[in-house]
Chain A
């Protein structure tokens, strides 16, 4: 998943070489955002719902320890085996050990961003265990050997013709066939066979109810249910922030989740899992992987409220024009840009800068995470920790020197404007990133300050 030396700007530059594709990507996601707006505006109490959700999550984050203990106790009472994983590696080992215990080397998985975050698929593959993703979008990117580019719409970057080609190669559909109905039917047939023959299923968790020890998985395709209902072993993997205190809180989140995600009034399947059916084993893996570190950062703890609806991605003008892969992390977009530096500040030091701080992400967030403010704050932390680009550092020092003194500033302005006017080649060249696709401003005959001194000072 790591892009090596590539950062968001370089990866977006590549994405933007094909402008028609950028337009298509932007319009597709804008369509989803418009649907979200319509759904939100149909609920007069929308803003109060967001506030309620935010407050419930504040409560959870302030009492996380107690809720987790309560949840564990209830889940164990229900006959669920609970595991705790400090990080991604431990999570993967736990899942592997459960599979080994049952002699399972083929399994199915429904959509889970946590397992993406932990790189579970690669880990299991290395241990010769075959994983088939059952969410259609996830399955498509899996066949393409790519990570998802969006947390709700994993293959939103792929056109139907490209999916047709993939299916032709892997599922034997006719060459050139790109009809979505036909391709979906082919995928359904392929997945049905898989559901019936796998002994273990992994699902994610959208909400875990401390009061009852149950967890809720939301899918539009019912694939989590099919996997979990048919398998002898159900392993559910969840980040520890997925806890909500009581079952009655669910209504608030379920009303917000899908409207924010896709503009639907409700997810097609919101399935409650509480206890294993007779003969079945149910395992829950509770994963920290940096979450308690983020909880301990007052400026960033709010990011743990995230319910993974992706509204911030759909609305983000930068995400829409740079694509999910440019973020080189499992959770892309604005929310990913405030989560990722917590995991690895050096690797993801570029992400908080991949924003114009327009603030639209904070406005659409159903749990009111102050995303754009956290992006600003991460920038300060990243620079202080020494991950700033050296050229930028020099430029900023020069800026400080110039702008801290009216004398230096006025002279620099005069000199700069003189060069732009009389020696435009010093500015209008390919080293000037502004100039590559934009003209420089026309140089006025005098600055405002010069005009003011002449015309107004003695008024």
Chain B
């Protein structure tokens, strides 16, 4: 199995540990992963701001870097959703459509492709799970509270295999954290208020850690937690699934 590792720009620059954990986790599960070093960004910040027409450079780079792999795996639901929904190329549309079908967020790759049913991981802490909107509603990583259907959650399925980990229940299990890409600065007041409320739900239920399949939501919540001098930490789900 030929797997390409797609590490979004902000994880590359600010959260290398989440990327290293993803790489190590996949390696421990027997998967050989290759990281194309010339990757930059999926183009989502531009596209979501209305500048989709400026993303061709990113799209072309992405296609160059990733079209040869059987699977593309990334520790970021939001970026994966962007690629799935919006990666196009007039010059290489067949390659683009191939990529759209074989790009996976890490937890869905573990659950749906590798069908992981046990993990040797240990994390004896109280953990709140932030179900990021793009992962949950966009990639359908978990059932959404608005829809009438049976519950499921790919991230929770995996976290339940971690020894010692105690999941905390939230009052609002799938409320948006307010990061929203450029929304976090363009609508700073609402974004921060949403983040504060999201963080408070976790704190009120005794979480020591907040985890997610999207580092971007965690970056926003971490910024708020640190401003509040809170002891609650954020950790990407790969770091927990890989914890010993």
Contact = CB atoms under 8 A, between A and B. Distances in A.
Interface of A: 8-9, 12-13, 15-16, 19, 22, 26, 30, 37, 40-41, 43-44, 46-47, 315, 317-318, 321-322, 352-360, 362-364, 376, 379-380, 382-384, 388, 392, 396-397, 399-400, 402-406, 409, 413, 416-417, 433-434, 436-444, 446-449, 451-453, 456-457
Interface string B181-192: 111111111111
A382 B52 CA distance: 12
Contacts of A9: 186-190
B90 interface: no
9 contacts: A353-B49, A362-B137, A376-B48, A380-B53, A388-B50, A392-B49, A417-B13, A439-B223, A452-B35
B84 to A, nearest CB: 13
B145 interface: yes
Given A46-B148, A438-B224, A317 B178 contact: yes
A181 B231 CA distance: 46
A379 B50 contact: yes
B204 to A, nearest CB: 13
For the residues of A in contact with B, the DSSP-based class is: helix
Contacts of A413: 9, 12-13
Given A19-B193, A384-B53, A448-B11, 19 more contacts: A12-B187, A13-B188, A26-B197, A41-B148, A321-B193, A356-B191, A358-B133, A363-B137, A384-B50, A396-B46, A403-B58, A404-B60, A413-B13, A438-B195, A438-B226, A441-B223, A447-B12, A447-B13, A449-B12
B222 interface: yes
Nearest to A383: B50
A12 B149 contact: no
Contacts of B145: 37
A404 B58 contact: yes
Contacts of B40: 402-406, 409
Given A12-B189, A392-B49, A441 B222 contact: yes
B183 A355 contact: yes
B183 A359 contact: no
Interface stretch (B14-22, B66-74, B102-110, B153-161): B14-22
B187 A8 contact: yes
Contact of B146 (A37, A317, A439): A37
A316 to B, nearest CB: 9
Contact of B50 (A315, A358, A382, A436): A382
Contacts of A358: 133, 137, 176, 180
Interface in B1-56: 7, 9, 11-17, 19-20, 23, 35, 37-41, 43, 45-55
Nearest to A364: B146
A400 B46 contact: yes
A176 B179 CA distance: 41
B16 A447 contact: yes
B176 A356 contact: yes
A317 B13 contact: no
Name which of A37, A446, A452 has the most chain B CB atoms within 10 A of its CB.
Answer: A452
Contacts of A30: 172
Given A356-B178, A380-B52, A456-B23, A16 B193 contact: yes
A406 B38 contact: yes
A447 B39 CA distance: 13
Given A356-B176, A441-B14, A318 B187 contact: yes
Interface string B109-135: 000000000000000000000000110
A452 B37 contact: yes
B16 A396 contact: no
Name which of A356, A363, A416, A446 has the most chain B CB atoms within 10 A of its CB.
Answer: A356
B192 A437 contact: yes
Contacts of A438: 192, 195, 220, 223-224, 226-227
Contacts of B184: 433-434
A453 B54 contact: no
B219 interface: yes
B49 A379 contact: yes
Nearest to A434: B185
Contacts of A363: 137, 144, 146-147
Given A47-B147, A354-B187, A403-B43, A448 B12 contact: yes
A403 B9 contact: yes
B165 interface: no
A322 B15 contact: no
B163 interface: no
Nearest to B226: A439
**For the complex of A and B, 10 pairs with smallest distance between CB atoms:** A404-B57, A438-B223, A356-B180, A379-B50, A383-B50, A358-B133, A363-B146, A359-B137, A358-B176, A448-B16
A441 B18 CA distance: 14
A417 B19 CA distance: 17
Contacts of A452: 23, 35, 37
Contacts of B98: none
Contacts of B50: 352-353, 379-380, 382-384, 388
A352 to B, nearest CB: 8
B57 A400 contact: yes
Interface in B70-91: none
A360 B45 contact: no
B43 A448 contact: no
B243 interface: no
B138 interface: yes
B232 interface: no
A441 B219 contact: yes
A360 B137 contact: yes
A247 B124 CA distance: 60
A399 B43 CA distance: 9
Contacts of A440: 223
